[in-house]
Structures are given as structure tokens and as C-alpha cells.
Structure 1
Amino acid sequence: MPAPLDHDFGGRVDQVVDRAVEEERIVGAVILVARRGEILYSRATGLADRESKKPMAADAIFRLASVTKPVVATAALALVEAGVIGLDDPTTKFIPEFQPKLADGSEPVITLRQLLTHTAGLSYGFREAADGPYHRAGISDGLDQPGLSMAENLSRIASVPLSYVPGTGWGYSVAMDVLGEAMARATGATLPELVDRLVVQPLGMDDAAFVVRDRSRLVTPYADGPGKAIAMGEQHRVPFGDGAISFSPGRVFDPASFASGGTGMNGTAGDVLKLLEALRSRGGSVIRPETAAAMTTDAIAGLETTMPGWGWGLGFGVLRDPLAASTPQAAGTWRWGGVYGHSWFVDPTLDLTVVTLTNTAISGMTGAFPDALRDAIYGRQA
């Protein structure tokens, strides 16, 4: 019976990856598997750009989408440790004009903790139908509308009624964008400056940034298509759940685009691994062990998420019930991904960290490919 990380796991992973690339469901990927910080599997496969037949490289730079969230969450918790912000501070302490209301017109307090845990009553446009309130208000999820300012997007977010009373529910949302702005206002620095100083530089995440420092290494983005992945256009919508995700890959090159704390960063698989390993080893050089422990523990006990078996920590999903989640991962595993085609997880019972960055939305993030990759690592039979 195969076991997690047995001597055959790399061969099983190769089979999953080779099949996905051959079938053109995934154009290219970089995959890292580490145990106790030692890299046991490292592979760059497929193409960084299919049209020019440019091969994927280990140091390829990806638009990270929601892989941004744990980076910004770590920076936020470093500011909490420094006493600059408090998790129970009201958001209006830093952004006085951000005053979204409930459907009945009342204006509840939204705390920074609620932003961090997605319990603030906010939403994402991609979680709504095409005529939903976020679409009618023109709210950006942080992946589209190049040149849109933070001030304008905050105004649009605040114009839409909250989905529920803050603290009483969970909904994946633009909350990290709001949190990022609160962090910037609290310090007088920009969010990119804060993230660079508090997380990126201390961990040596050389290519992690809200800008692309070496465009020659930036992968070309692709999207799910009929039969095989297709090249992403400058304005591209990919169906997802009940709605669709709106992408503008060129957003990253427009300096007027707001720095999205939820989706705005770029970086390599190695950059992501450095962050996750720092958190797995209880904070590394960026946050205290007790802060890292709180970050990686379910922080919303008693609230249900839209993901069976999963709760939420201070920045990403935390596994409550492996059976309900239909996963071989152990309870306490933490994970998330990014809609440009990424998935990652840390199973602390095995001291296991896995990073998979692809250039294919959405197949690289959720569904058959990341599930098969995970099962191959654990030796789970299909």
C-alpha cells in the first residue's frame, strides 16, 4: 500500500503532471515538495509560453493572485506584534470613509480581524451572477480594471449592502484589499513597501513584489477552454462556480492599478515556499511562534465556510475534517491557491509543504489536477 512521501511518490507525481501537460489542460507548471525544509521533489515542466515554445523554468515568475493573501496576512500580523494595528481595531480607525451598511441601513463595526478571516460581510464579484450587486457597482476583485484606484474601489465596495452582520458568517471576499489599505494608512507607507520590508526582504523572497522585476521570466497566462487551455486575452472571463472570474493580465503593468492585498503580487514557486516554510517552522524571522500558531489554527470555530470540512485561519483555509473534505491530508493542514492557476498546502503532521504554480486558470488551482497531485503525494488510490 503506497504511503505519503514513499520512494515512489515522485514517479506518481510525474505521471499526474505529464498527463495534464500532454492533454493540454495545464500549459506549464513549477512544483516543489519539501519535508522539514528539505526539497524532495522539484520540477519545472511544460511551457512558459506556448506560442513561442518557451520552456517553463524553475525561476519563472507568476501572477500570484490569491497566493498574495498569506504574504499580506503575515505582514499584517507583524504590524499587530509591533503594536501599530490591533486585530480588534475598527476598520474606520484607519479608513474613516469606509462605512458599508447592512440591507436595513444600519452601519455595523467591521474589525481588522473580520477582514483577515473573511467574516466582514463583504464578497467577491466572481461569487455572484453577472447581474449581482458587485457587478452593478463595478467593483474589482483585484484582477481586472487596470488603472482603477483604491479610493474608487473602496467607494464602490462601501456602496453595496453587506451580505451579513460582520462576525456572524463567512464569505470569501475583497476583505484583504481593504485590510491592505488599512495597513498602509496606519503606517504612512504603501502596501508594497510594507510587504517588502516586513516579509519579502527578511525571507529572501527575491522576486515577490507587486510589480514584475524581470518581465523576461513572467509566464504567459492561459485559461480553461473547450478541450484544452487557451491563451488569455487582455480582457478574459473564465466561468467559475455560479459566476465568472474577470482577468486583465496587463493590470500588473499599469502603475495606477491599486495594490491589491488579496490578489496583486507576483513571484516564483521558490518565493512561496520560503514563506510557507517560515510559517510552518513557527514564524521564521518575520513573526513570533505564537503568532504563526494562531495564524495556522482555525480562527472561526462555529462558523461554516463554503468548503466542506474546512475552516479559516488568519489568512487561509485550515482543515477541520478530512472525511468531510474528502482529502488524505491530516486535520490541521492549511492551504489555499490562486485563480491564475496555483495551489499550495502545508500538512504540519508530516512537516510537508507543497507548492504548485501553473500558468493555467482555473485548472491549476482546483479540480482534477491539484487533487490528483495531492493524492499522488499521499499515495492515495484513485
Structure 2
Amino acid sequence: MSLISGDRPSFSPVAQMKDLSDRIDAVIDTALAQQRVVGAVVLVAKDGDTVYARAAGFADREANQPMTPDTLFRLSSVSKVYASVAAMALVGQGRLALDAPVTDWLPDFRPTSPDGSVSDITVRHLLSHMAGLNYGFLEPADGPYHRAGVSDGMDIANVTLEENVRRIATVPLLFAPGMSWNYSLATDVLGLLIERATGLPLADAVRTLVMEPLGLTDTGFTIAGPNRLATGYVDDGGTPRRMADLEIIPLPFIEGSEGLRMSLTRAFDENAYPSGGAGMIGSAGDLLAVLEALRKGGAPLLSTSQVEAMVTDQTPGMDLLPWPGRGFGLGFTVLRDPVAANSPEAVGAWRMGGAYGHSWFVDPANGLTVVAFTNAGLEGQSPGGRFPDELTRAIYG
């Protein structure tokens, strides 16, 4: 029996729940047996009830440390959820405005457009990744962000958040703000904006605006429990190998890019700048709680209208690579065309992932929220890995 049939499926029969669990278990067990994934925590909520929860495999294979429900992970781009929600909370409080220029808070942030002119970048441009900024990992090794010494937020870099944003501003934009879309360090710039709007370090601001209202304690820019942190592994064409202190991981789906510069030791570096786009550490359970708050309407974090703004496609008519069939809202992708996306999710579903091996999605039409954290990049990442796609299809039957 399929989990989903029609707009609002019933999910009460015990047999149906067992069918769901069996399908998800099979995906996880196969990925572990084939050594594509080292460990995973998978949570599925349906209409507000957690209907599946499993921790499997190893948090540290070499130490024989099992994965547990409260294992912590380097979040990579999952961090963007927390920073984006924090920014939207400030919009609700009147301390930020979506269509106000960033220079209201960062007067020196004035990167030039390709024609040499300076146009206003707004808070909305940052949240929707329409600011004209870039990521170093999307460039060749000698690209302008690398030449400017810009950090993508996952490597060891002797730089403050303020200095990294200053360096970003020295590089010309890819396009005039609002004219196109490009996944970028916009959320890191947003992090400094949050600091200026609140007068707090970004870690304190996110904790106050997002974590404390929900009573969450596992997620932040430092490690809540060092012994709970999963080790990172990387797909190397066979069995995932333990990541070295510094890895440059190629991205086969992005032609010409150098790849991701990632450092496991960054999580332990007290001087690492707080990257709103990639630098947080946390648990699958915390993310589920935040996503469920948004799916239910936003309280106690945001108003319903603010959530509606976040899940509204800001990029109509634009093709987003590597997310075919999806547009971008204020912080994450929004599904436009399930056929083009090759996905069973309903139109309007939100989804993102993280390079350390994570994926998540919310399908409001079907009352579904799913979090899947692994410690195997890029196999567990959405986009890029098989595991998230297999898991999604198992959930929908």
C-alpha cells in the first residue's frame, strides 16, 4: 500500500506504517551493505507525528562507534536553514526589511556589477541567492574568489566573518542583483547582516532567534558534545574513506569547478568564523523540529505570512542548476515541476541538503517532513547522491 494517494492521504493503518518502515529500512540497509554510506540518522514526520526514526551504521567506523539518534553532524549547507529563519525572524521584528539595501547595515558592502556599476543588493537578494555572488567551490582553482582569499566556510581559514565579507565585496558580481540566480556565499553575508541588526555574535543571535524558542540545545556554531560528533567520510570511488584534515572534493555535476575545500578540524577551531551558509553543527532531531515549526505555520519562530514568503518561488522562469524542476524561495529550493525534478514530491515541496552527506525535504501538501543525515559525502547529499533519491522514493512507495 502506498503511503501517499491523493492530496491528503490517511496514514492510520498499522500495516501501512510497517510497509513504510520496511521500505525505508531496505534503503538504509542496502546503502550500508554496499558501503556507500557509513552511518545515517533518518527521521520522518507525518502530519506532526514522527512515524519513522532510525539511527544505523557507524558515527566513527574505525573506533567502532555506532550512530545514535543524538549524534551530531557538521551541517554544511543545512546551516542555511537556521540563518535564513533567523533573518526572517528579524524581518518580523522590524529589525531587517526584505527589500531594503544591505548597505543600510553594511555600508561598505558594495561589490560592482559586471559593467562596473554599483546596484543595491537587498536582504531578499541574499536570501534568494539572486545577489550576483558566487562560491569559491564553483570556480576553477585560480578563480577570483580564490585570488581574493575568500573562504567558503568549510575550510580552515584565518579570517573573521567581517573580513571574509569584505573580501567577497572586492570581487565583481556575476550579474546585476535580481537579474539571475546563483548559489553563493550570500548566506554568509546574511550572517554579518544578522550580527549588525542584533548587535550580537551570529551564534548568539541564531540561538536566541531560532533555538531557544523551540527549546533546542544541540545545534550551533560550536559542538554541544564532542564525543557525539560523527566523523566525516568521502566517496572515493569505492568504500567511503575517512576524510583527511583538508580535502578538496571534486563535484562531477559542476563542470570546471575546483571542488569543495573541507576540513574536519574546522569544527574544533574556536577561531573559525561563524559561516551562516556552512559552519554549523547539530542533530537531525533539531532540524526536524525547526522544519516542523515552519510546516505548521511558523510559530513560535515566524508568522504564517513570513513562512509563505519563504516558500514562494523568487526565481520564476529561471533554470536552477543543479536543481532541475525547482525554483528558490527565501533560503531553500521549492519544487515547481515534479517530472523535470524526477521526484515524487508534490508541487511546492521544499528541499535542500549539505555536502557532508545530508538531505531534507518538507512536502506540505502531504504533511511530510523528512530529515536524513549521513556522514558520507557526497553519497548522502541532495543533490549529487543516490541515497536521498532512493530514500524519497521509498517514503512515497
Relative to the length of structure 1, the TM-score reads 0.96
Separation in 2, partners of 1:62, 1:114: 29
Q: Report the Cα distance in structure 2 between the residues aligned to 1:238 and 1:373, rounded to whole angstroms.
A: 24
SS at match of 2:366: coil
1:323 partnered with 2:334 = no
Given the alignment of the two structures, is residue 171 of structure 1 paired with residue 182 of structure 2, yes or no?
Answer: yes
Task: State the alpha-carbon separation in 1 of the partners of residues 284 and 48 from structure 2.
Answer: 14
Within the candidate set 121, 132, 136, 1:121 is matched to 132
Percent sequence identity over matched residues? 49
Q: 3-state DSSP class of the match of 1:277?
A: helix
Q: 1:154-200 CA distances to partner (integer Å, 9 max, x unpaired)?
A: 12211211001110100000000001101111221111111101110
Give the residue type in structure 1 aligned to 2:386.
Answer: A
1-structure distance, mates of 2:109, 2:152:
17
Residue in 2 aligned with 1:305?
Answer: 320
Question: Per-residue deviation at 1:300?
Answer: 2.4
Corresponding position of 1:94: 105
**Structural mapping, 1:44-55, within 5 Å:** 44-55=55-66
Match of 1:29 in 2: 40
The residue that corresponds to 2:307 in the other structure is 292
Partner of 1:264: 279
SS at match of 2:250: strand
Q: Is the CA contact 1:146–1:250 (under 8 Å) kept in the aligned structure 2?
A: no
Correspondence 1:334 to 2:334: no
| SS in structure 2 at match of 1:40 | strand
What's the offset of the Cα at 1:153? Answer: 1.2
Aligned to 2:227: 216
Letter in 2 for 1:357: F
In the alignment, is residue 347 of structure 1 matched against residue 363 of structure 2?
yes
Secondary structure at the aligned position of 1:294 is classed as: helix
Of 44, 69, 78, the match for 1:67: 78
Q: For the residues of structure 2 that align with 1:17 and 1:57, how far apart are their CA atoms?
A: 14
The 5 A counterparts of 1:79-90 are 79-90=90-101
Match of 1:157 among 165, 168, 172: 168
Q: Distance in 1 between matches of 2:307 and 2:34?
A: 40
Tell me the residue number matched to 1:40.
51
Match of 2:375 among 345, 356, 359: 359
Task: Write the deviation string for residues 246-299 of structure 1: whole angstroms up to 9, x where unpaired.
Answer: 101111222221111111111111000000000000102111111112212212
Separation (CA, whole Å) in 2 of partners of 1:145 and 1:160 = 21
Aligned residue in 2 for 1:135 = 146
1:130 and 1:292 mapped to 2: Cα distance? 38
* Letter in structure 2 aligned against 1:360: A
Q: Which runs of 5+ in 1 are unaligned?
A: none
1:112 maps onto 2:123 in alignment = yes
What does the per-residue CA deviation read over 1:323-377, in whole Å, with 9 as the maximum and x for residues that have no partner?
A: 1111111000001011111000001111000000011111111321110110111
Alignment partners' CA distance in 2, 1:22 and 1:134: 40
User: 1:75-134 deviations in whole A, cap 9, x for unaligned?
Assistant: 111101111111111111111121111232211111111000000000111112222222
Q: SS of the residue aligned with 1:349?
A: helix
Q: Secondary structure in 2 aligned to 1:311?
A: strand
Q: Please tell me whether the aligned partners of residues 48 and 56 of structure 1 are also in contact (alpha carbons under 8 angstroms).
A: yes
Q: Unpaired runs of 5+ in structure 2?
A: 5-10
Task: Tell me the distance in 2 between the aligned counterparts of 1:146 and 1:207.
Answer: 25
Q: Residues 309 and 320 of structure 1 are in contact (CA less than 8 Å); yes or no, is this contact kept in structure 2?
A: yes
Bigger mean CA deviation after superposition, 328-337 or 135-144: 135-144
Deviation string, structure 1 residues 132-159 (Cα, Å, up to 9, x no partner): 2222222111111243211221122112
Contact 1:34 1:353 in 2 (8 A): yes
Alpha-carbon displacement from aligned partner over 1:10-41 (angstroms, at most 9, x marks no partner): 11111111111112111111000110111111
What is the match of residue 253 of structure 1? 268
Tell me the amino acid that sits aligned with residue 374 of structure 1: T
Q: Which one-letter code corresponds to 1:37 in the other structure?
A: G
Q: Calculate the aligned-residue CA RMSD, in Å.
A: 1.3
Equivalent position amino acid for 1:19 in 2: T
Counterpart pick for 2:207 among 196, 199, 202: 196
Equivalent position to 1:277, from 270, 288, 292 = 292
Deviations 1:207-265 (A, max 9, x none): 01110021010111111112111101111111112321110111122222111111111
Partner secondary structure for residue 365 of structure 2? coil
1:368 aligned to 2:395?
Answer: no
Q: Please say if residues 162 and 192 of structure 2, whose CA atoms lie closer than 8 Å, have aligned partners that are also in contact.
A: no
Q: More deviation in 281-290 or 168-177?
A: 281-290
Mapped to 1, the partners of 2:195 and 2:275 lie a distance apart of 12
Q: How many residues align?
A: 379
